[in-house]
Amino acid sequence: MVKLHIHRERSIESLLREHTGIILKVCAMYCRRSSGPRGGAMCEAVPPFVSNTSGTRRGNEWREEVSDLFQEIALNLVESWPQYRGQCSESTWVYRVATNVAISNLRRFSTRRIVLVDESTLDRLETETSNDTVERLYRRIDRLSDDERQLMTYAIGKVPLKEVAEIMGLTEDAVKHRMQRTKEKLRNMKDDYEE
């Protein structure tokens, strides 16, 4: 196995600067849609999401959740960095740590903010995930199992199949098969408000 060159002297800032995109994506995948930008069930007459300045309660809860998870992932990345041996690409490692944190649902620092995401990023993230089609897809993803959601995260993040197989302890064929099945499941799933 070819080991990658690892810069041991990484600061939390440089790790975050490089991988903010992955962390935001994992936050979007895992932060509950029930308290998401648009709030509860889709059948409710919820006004379209306007930026945070409107101060919708559910929107604020979702932003809080995103900020908490973002921070937790960032802190875990810094803590786990010394254990990173370069067995996979750095971005795969970030995906792995981030999804593990999201699944384990740790919230150690929820009352104390150490890592701060600027408001305009949260505004843009909220608007982006409030896009009708995207939000519907996320609502469907919310109903997947942990494994299925993790697989989808890796699939959309274009994590190499071989590395996904290693992370999930499966063969490449099994990963491919499960990814296909999960996509099929998503496609055939009814939206929650249709049920």
Partner 1 sequence: MTMKNNDDILEVLEQHWERMDEIAEQSHVSVVRWHLPESPRRWVRSIAASVAAIAIGAALLLTKVPQPDGLYASNLSHRSEAIEAINEISMSIL
Residues engaged in binding partner 1 (CB under 8 A): 12-13, 16-17, 20-21, 24-25, 28, 70, 74-75, 78-79, 108-109, 112-118, 121, 124-125, 128-129, 131, 133-134, 136-137, 152, 155-157, 180, 183-184, 186-187, 191
Closest separation in Å from C-beta 190 to partner 1: 9
Cα gap 96→159, rounded to integer Å? 10
Instruction: Name the residue nearer to partner 1 (CB basis): 77 or 167.
Output: 77
Closest separation in Å from C-beta 1 to partner 1: 28
Instruction: Name the residue nearer to partner 1 (CB basis): 74 or 164.
Output: 74
Closest separation in Å from C-beta 166 to partner 1: 22
CA distances to 3, 130, 145, 183 from 67, in Å: 33, 17, 23, 29
Q: For residue 40, what are its two tokens?
A: 């509860």
User: What letter represents residue 43's amino acid?
Assistant: C
Return the closest-CA partner of residue 190 out of 42, 66, 40: 42
Find the angle CA(186)-CA(97)-CA(77) to the nearest 5 degrees: 140
Instruction: Name the residue nearer to partner 1 (CB basis): 78 or 165.
Output: 78
Q: For residue 121, what are its two tokens?
A: 């990023």
Closest separation in Å from C-beta 53 to partner 1: 18
